[in-house]
Chains A and B, each alone.
Chain A
Amino acid sequence: MATVKLKNIKKTYPNGAVAVQGVDMAIEDGEFIVFVGPSGCGKSTMLRMVAGLENITDGEIEIDDRVINKVSPADRDVAMVFQNYALYPHMTVRGNMAYGLKNRGLPKAEINQKVTDAAKMLRIHDFLDRQPNQLSGGQRQRVAMGRAIVRDPKVFLFDEPLSNLDAKLRVQMRIEIKRLQRKMGVTSIYVTHDQTEAMTLADRLAVINDGRIEQMGAPIELYNNPATLFVASFIGAPQINLIPVQFDGKNLNSGDLQFSGFKDLPENTDLILGIRPDVLEPNNDGQLEMQVDLVEQHGAENLVYGALNGASTTDGYITEICFKTNQNTQPAIDSILRLHFDQSHAMVFNKETGERLI
């Protein structure tokens, strides 16, 4: 139960590399915050700064209005779940879970109670006397979670905890983490590069790029209303279609294509028209023409990929396009389709700055 505030925090490594450049964030009590971004964007560094495993070059971090910049990791009352679990290999599951409590001088009976409770909650009760190397990946993950839970911390920190699990287990654990967090109501910060994990887990999502927050908000808000080209292309699977365009005062032009009905856009500037795959639909009067080259069948839905005919090229390559449709629509390879989109769902970005214009 705690609030976390990041106040203009910065991280510069001794070799001069800047990992985090001035991040501000206020996390509410009980909130589940996810940091998402490509590898090397600084999201893990930020989490590790909250944990105390990384020095804070500049700025302040507060937990419950107490500045913790100089507080040792063990005294911050935070618990972390690591990517590779980081279990103590020489201790049993019980020992792993009890270690943090023992060092805090809790009475033995209380430690036992807490460990047993957490183990039951995580369904690892039968493994308490095993060594970590006798457990499967999923079980180790649970032990790592258990070690965090027994501490009863103010804040949970998760550093890509699911990336070492296989796909099926990952989905399962994702749901469990969310349920557990709901039930315990502990403020949590979760780092991932997986946008599905980010979307599904977060109360609020922070998209991080190049050591800065690109946008922060509810996942669906970020999906529907991305503030920048980066957020638009990072959030959403399959990725948003991006068509290079220019504005001539009346229409958006891309090669032979013309899209009317846009106004108040800068002229002679490289722009990007963004259209989500799920707002495109086959229609003989559609604005776009595509040549199908691949159909992915996902079960309930099909994803149709191909080249956008007539459009100008993207960095010398054909502009690709993708749309989502139901399982019964299965266009033939190499067939030509016309696609329609509702203009109100289209987004326009400045290519240079990434800024959203419409």
Chain B
Amino acid sequence: MKRVQFEHSTIPYLFIAPQIIIIAIFFLWPAAQAVHQSFLLEDAFGLSSQFVWFKNYFDTIGDASWRQAAWFTTVFSVLVTFLSLGIALLLAVKANEVIRGARTYRTTLMWAYAIAPPVAGLMGNLMFHPLIGDLYKFLNTIGWDFNHKLDSFDAGFVVVLIAVWKQVSVNFIFFLSGLQGISKAVNEAAMMDCKSPTRRFWTITFPLLAPTTFFLMVINITYAFFETFGIIDTTTGGAPGGSTNTLVYKVFQDGFRGADLGGSSAQSVVLMLIVLALTVIQFRFIERKVHY
């Protein structure tokens, strides 16, 4: 077979150079730095450092507060991912059925997309403020002795609520466009084949949305792991007692507040490995069940 061979030139490399440079500066170089630092132990003033092999890693894994953060991250990620996917799917299905005023519904539901996570956190702060927060007052009036400053469950509730609320709109947009990608005739054929709308949803609509759902799941787990940093930083700041520390937030706290650069670097390398493993699992095992 004859293959078209273009003359070698530098132009293609020039085209991808900006992307390569960005990746190198903002990802590869810091990542390499983190790996390097994770093997070092610095003195308190940052004047000298010594090579300590895997000591930082053992310290990280052996540290109860790290394991507590890992546990919180797991629960937090699962909750945020499933709640925001579930709620968004429900909203998208319902909004897709609306005929009159469909545009208004859709626009309104997409609005929260424009809000940055730290801003969402600040809004949450106001709503849950012990003096002026309406939600704070409301929860206390309905008999829940709510205080997210003291109670770790309540604090978790606040960050999950805000993180989910912020993410629902993103998922909604994708689900809605996924739903609209399903041919009308296929839906009609299903209506003639199956009476129950619920059954129709699970046997036709949901499988056809699987590529969207899978993509969103990957995006949402990443969101829960990393992007919720802004929300946690502006609301609980990891309090009370580090119970709402996610792994990312703990890296920041130990590194920049605690000045333990070696330890936090080790944490971030571990985090990188966890995310890598998760991604592999997702593509290996779940993607198989996705029909494109």
Across the interface, A103 reaches (CB within 8 A) one of B189, B194, B291, namely: B194
Cβ of B185 < 8 Å from any Cβ of A?
yes
Instruction: Considering the complex, give the chain B residue whose CB is closest to the CB of A82.
Output: B185
The A interface, classified by DSSP as helix, strand, loop or mixed, is loop
Cβ of A99 < 8 Å from any Cβ of B?
yes
Which residues of B have CB within 8 Å of A89? 186, 208, 291
Cβ of A354 < 8 Å from any Cβ of B?
no
Interface size class of B (residues with CB under 8 A): 10 to 19
The residues of A with any CB-CB pair to B shorter than 8 Å are 51-53, 72-75, 78-80, 82-90, 99-100, 103, 147, 151
- With contacts A53-B192, A86-B183 known, what are 15 further pairs, Cβ within 8 A? A52-B192, A73-B188, A73-B191, A73-B192, A74-B191, A82-B185, A82-B189, A89-B291, A90-B291, A99-B194, A99-B203, A100-B194, A103-B194, A103-B199, A147-B193
Q: Which of B224-281 contact A (CB under 8 A)?
A: none
Complex Cα–Cα for A90 and B204 (A): 8
The residues of B with any CB-CB pair to A shorter than 8 Å are 183, 185-186, 188-196, 199, 203-204, 207-208, 210, 291
Which residues of A have CB within 8 Å of B193? 74, 99-100, 103, 147, 151
Which residues of A have CB within 8 Å of B190? 88, 99
Which residues of B have CB within 8 Å of A52? 191-192
Instruction: Considering the complex, give the chain A residue whose CB is closest to the CB of B189.
Output: A86
Chain A to chain B: the 10 pairs with minimum beta-carbon distance, closest first? A86-B185, A100-B193, A74-B195, A86-B189, A103-B194, A90-B291, A90-B207, A73-B192, A82-B185, A73-B191
Complex Cα–Cα for A294 and B211 (A): 56
Check if A53 sits within 8 Å of B191, measured CB to CB. Answer: yes
A63 to chain B, nearest CB (A): 14
User: Can you report 23 A-B residue pairs in the complex whose CB atoms are below 8 A from each other?
Assistant: A51-B188, A53-B188, A53-B192, A73-B191, A73-B192, A74-B192, A74-B193, A78-B192, A80-B192, A82-B185, A84-B183, A85-B185, A87-B189, A88-B190, A89-B186, A89-B291, A99-B190, A100-B193, A100-B194, A103-B193, A103-B196, A103-B199, A147-B189
B97 to chain A, nearest CB (A): 15
Complex Cα–Cα for A79 and B183 (A): 18
Complex Cα–Cα for A83 and B191 (A): 16
Across the interface, B194 reaches (CB within 8 A) one of A53, A74, A83, namely: A74
Complex Cα–Cα for A127 and B192 (A): 24
Which residues of A have CB within 8 Å of B195? 72, 74-75, 103
Complex Cα–Cα for A82 and B192 (A): 12
Complex Cα–Cα for A297 and B18 (A): 63
Which residues of B have CB within 8 Å of A88? 186, 189-190, 204
Check if A83 sits within 8 Å of B192, measured CB to CB. Answer: no
Check if B204 sits within 8 Å of A82, measured CB to CB. Answer: no
Q: A89-B291, A100-B193 are in contact. Are A83 and B185 (CB under 8 A)?
A: yes
B196 to chain A, nearest CB (A): 8
Which residues of B have CB within 8 Å of A79? 192
Instruction: Considering the complex, give the chain A residue whose CB is closest to the CB of B184.
Output: A86
Which residues of A have CB within 8 Å of B291? 89-90
Which residues of B have CB within 8 Å of A87? 186, 189
Which residues of B have CB within 8 Å of A85? 185
Complex Cα–Cα for A121 and B245 (A): 65
